[in-house]
Amino acid sequence: MSTLSHVSSLQPSQRMADAVRYSDEELIGRFQKGDENAYSELVKRYKDPLLNFVYRYVNDRDQAEDIVQDTMVKLFTHKHYYKEIAKFSTWIYTIAGNLAKTELRKKKRQKTTHLSQIGPEDSEYQIPDHGSGTDESIQSSFVEKRIQSAIQQLEPHFRTVIIMRDIQELSYEEISNILNVPLGTVKSRINRGRLELQGELKDLR
């Protein structure tokens, strides 16, 4: 193999190694100029955090994965919509959050339609699962489900900020930018949401 060919064969991996050193904003800038390695690095950085974020919204792993996939498609096709005046994380979380809200509205409409069609003879029940598992794992699973259920019961504007702050660990400023609401409103909603959760989960203490 010639020296030129050898260098050429190393270029993709070298470019990926370089991409890791860039900030999110530098990566999206490079992607806007045609560097698809920068896109790959952004997907790598945000795929899992966005999946956790969206899952807390929709409470469905498969649907969350679909929404994250749609988010990455929008990142690819709408890359020039990003402007440097905003943090990239704010922009990408806004896209994912909007897609998740759209799916929730669809599910709510479908659920309403379904419930309106159910008669007394249509009632169902689930057989409890008494599969194997340690007491600790069962208790942990129970607590996780209770917390998830309590979060889902919050009003949407409280649920959103609780997920962003306490699960995704975004800053107050990032949440304010993503939701386009004043910083004081964000803090107030988080405090109210936490109080409601504490009330719902007081028996777990």
pLDDT, mean over the chain: 77
CA 103/CA 93 separation, integer angstroms: 15
pLDDT at site 104: 77
> Measured over all CA atoms, what is the biggest interatomic distance in the chain, rounded to whole angstroms?
78
Q: Looking at the domain that runs over 135-205, which CATH code has it been given?
A: 1.10.10.10
At 11-42, the pLDDT tens digits run: 555 555 566 689 999 999 999 999 999 999 99
Q: Looking at the domain that runs over 15-116, which CATH code has it been given?
A: 1.10.1740.10
Tokens standing for residue 180: 């386009």
Per-domain boundaries in the chain = 15-116, 135-205
Residue 92 CB-half CA count within 13 A: 28
CA 112/CA 56 separation, integer angstroms: 21
| Contact in structure between 84 and 172 (CB atoms under 8 Å) | no
At 71-88, the pLDDT tens digits run: 999 999 999 999 877 789
Q: Give, for 92, the enclosing helix (H) or strand (E).
A: helix 88-117
107 or 169, which is more confident: 169
At 103-125, the pLDDT tens digits run: 877 765 544 333 334 344 433 33
Token pair 């994250």: residue: 68
The pTM assigned to this predicted structure is 0.60
Listed range (43-47, 190-194, 197-201) with the worst mean pLDDT: 197-201
Q: Do domains 15-116 and 135-205 have the same CATH topology?
A: no
pLDDT at site 60: 87
Token pair 């945000």: residue: 46
